[in-house]
Amino acid sequence: MTLLQIRNLRIAFCSSRQADGLFLKSTEQEVVHGIDLSIGQGEIVGLVGESGSGKSVTSLSVMKLLHEEAVITADEMTFAGIPLLSQTEEEWQKLRGNRISMVFQEPMTSLNPVLTIEKQVEEGLLLHEEEKYKSNKELRRARVLEVLAEAGLKEPEELLKKYPHQLSGGMRQRVMIAIAMLCSPELLIADEPTTALDAATQEIILKLLSYYSETYGTSILFISHDLSLVARLCDRVVVMKHGRVVETGTREEIFEHPQEEYTKQLISAAKGEQLAEAGESRSGVPLLELKHAVIQYREKNFFGKETVTEAVDDVSFTLHRGEILGLVGESGSGKSSLSKAVTGLLALTSGELVLAEGIRRPQMVFQDPYGSLNPAKKIGWILEEPLKIHGGFSKIERKRLVREALKEVELDEAYAGRYVRELSGGQRQRVAIAAALIQKPELVILDEPVSALDVTVQGQILELLYRLKEEHGMSYLFVSHDMSVIRRICDRVLVLYQGKLVEEGRTEDVLEHPQHPYTRELLRRKEAE
């Protein structure tokens, strides 16, 4: 039997208010263009797509949790026979948290920071359950302890008086799931519930979700950008792109015989295939040499007592012209200090940095372009700024260079007039790359350039970087903690551990035959994901 039936769902936002004469005119922007979705009783359906595909918006519309500017229309939208679109706000309140509930991506911000766990979990009992709970605190507490224990939280009594910030990420997500399951809903919507968690915890949360589905026959709508998770959990898969459904099918159909090009792309991106040409592009001409580099941070406390932290300890390497050199390590391994030193943002405590003669200043691209691009300025201004600072260009020339740079990163000229917040994560990273490129550098330091992006966008950005390198004869120092990204793009790789270089070699050799135990550990962890 079908629990949720959606036909031709359209969602639009009254987004930008623009001045039209004296009055503000709001323009509607449709983000979901008529999709069909159905979930059977007890079924687990995976909704897959990248950020901006409309999958989260769709799931929020099922509970009418979108903000008021959203305009939702559909030919049919029923839950257990109830027409959802004609529900009054009071009727919605009886459904939400009771018959349909939701788990969100970021459990830290999704829980109220100043209320105790007990208060947040028991709330559903006060709102939806029988009268007996309202007057009896003991009864409520017993039920709260029961759901917390069921969500796999050990010693739930200890948790009652705690606050969200005192719990680990995995525990918070279990609390969120306990809240969602409190009133035994028929439909559970899980929006990227494991994205913020580490691999081991992801696994546990997946098991927990299938446990609820088996035990209570709960239907689950599982939203994710990660196909490998969907493959393990879901009976049926719906693939979305740009607000439309691209492909629908059973798990076997989608993963064994994908029909659409986009689905195939998603699957290959999830497997992390190597860029075709990468691997052999060393010229042997050194562009940058680092000799016995040491970076120390000195900190004087109030009494003048000095503490020295060694971030980088005697590291030497050479980066050749035309090469993509990977720098791998966890946070705290010294890779950020090292990349800052190479761009000249940080001085070496001792050792030597030799750049090839006449080389232009290395440029840097950061992980989070949202934080590193000025939000108050238009893209065109941001791209033009370095040209203004270094001078020597007329206004017309600068505009032309901006247009060219945008074209290089496959963005339309019109983007020059937009703000950073109007762009998607991938587009922002393209702008950050354009900003580095406009100064025609020979060496670019890429600090986790794709870590914040979805897998297919990751693939697109990596391909872009590779093409630009080939066309302009640049070299990259590619900093990352992600072995599968390193595998796809780097010629050689350096492994940094606690400030020391522990392994160095051709990417293939290092990844296939790791020598150092730390490298093996990194690879093992990647596989576990």
Partner 1 sequence: MKFIIKKTGSLIITLVIISFLSFLAFSLIPGDAAVASLGMDATEADINALREELGLNRPVHVQYADWLLSALQGDFGVSTQYHLPVSELVVKRLPATITLAVYSMVIIILVSFPAGLLGTRKPNGAMDTVMTVLSQVGMAVPQFFLGILLTFFFGIVLDWFTVGGYVGVQENPAGFFRFLVLPAVAVAVPKCATMTRYIRNAVVAQKKQDYVRTARGKGNSEKRVLLQHVLVNVMMPVVTMLAMMAADVLAGSIVVEQVFNIPGLGRLLITSISNRDYPVVQAIVVYMACAVVIMNTLADIAYQKLDPRVR
Residues of this chain that bind partner 1 (CB under 8 A): 63, 65, 68, 89-90, 92-98, 101-102, 104, 106, 109-115, 123-124, 127-128, 163, 165-166, 176, 179
For partner 1, which is the closer residue by CB, 182 or 401?
182
Q: How far is the CB of 64 from partner 1 (least distance, A)?
A: 9
Residue 383, strand partner residues: none
For partner 1, which is the closer residue by CB, 19 or 396?
19
Q: How far is CA 204 from CA 190, 208, 354, 527, in A?
A: 14, 6, 49, 16
Q: How far is the CB of 108 from partner 1 (least distance, A)?
A: 9
Work out the burial of residue 124: count CB atoms within 10 Å of its CB; fewer than 13 is exposed, 13-18 middle, 19 or more buried: buried
The sign of the torsion formed by the CA atoms of 106, 162, 213, 93 equals: negative
Q: What is the DSSP letter of 149?
A: H
Q: How far is the CB of 128 from partner 1 (least distance, A)?
A: 6
Within 10 angstroms of residue 168's Cβ, the number of other Cβ atoms is 12
For partner 1, which is the closer residue by CB, 27 or 350?
27
For partner 1, which is the closer residue by CB, 101 or 194?
101
Q: How far is the CB of 101 from partner 1 (least distance, A)?
A: 6
For partner 1, which is the closer residue by CB, 2 or 98?
98
Q: How far is the CB of 89 from partner 1 (least distance, A)?
A: 8
Helix (H) or strand (E) holding 204: helix 199-216
Tell which residue, 494, 84, 39, 401, has the closest CA to residue 248. Answer: 39
Pairwise CA distance, residues 129 & 226, whole Å? 36
Q: How far is the CB of 425 from partner 1 (least distance, A)?
A: 18
Within 10 angstroms of residue 519's Cβ, the number of other Cβ atoms is 21
Pairwise CA distance, residues 168 & 166, whole Å? 7
Tell which residue, 44, 295, 376, 384, has the closest CA to residue 187. Answer: 44
Q: How far is the CB of 117 from partner 1 (least distance, A)?
A: 11
Sole residue written with tokens 């033009």: 384
For partner 1, which is the closer residue by CB, 130 or 299?
130
For partner 1, which is the closer residue by CB, 101 or 427?
101
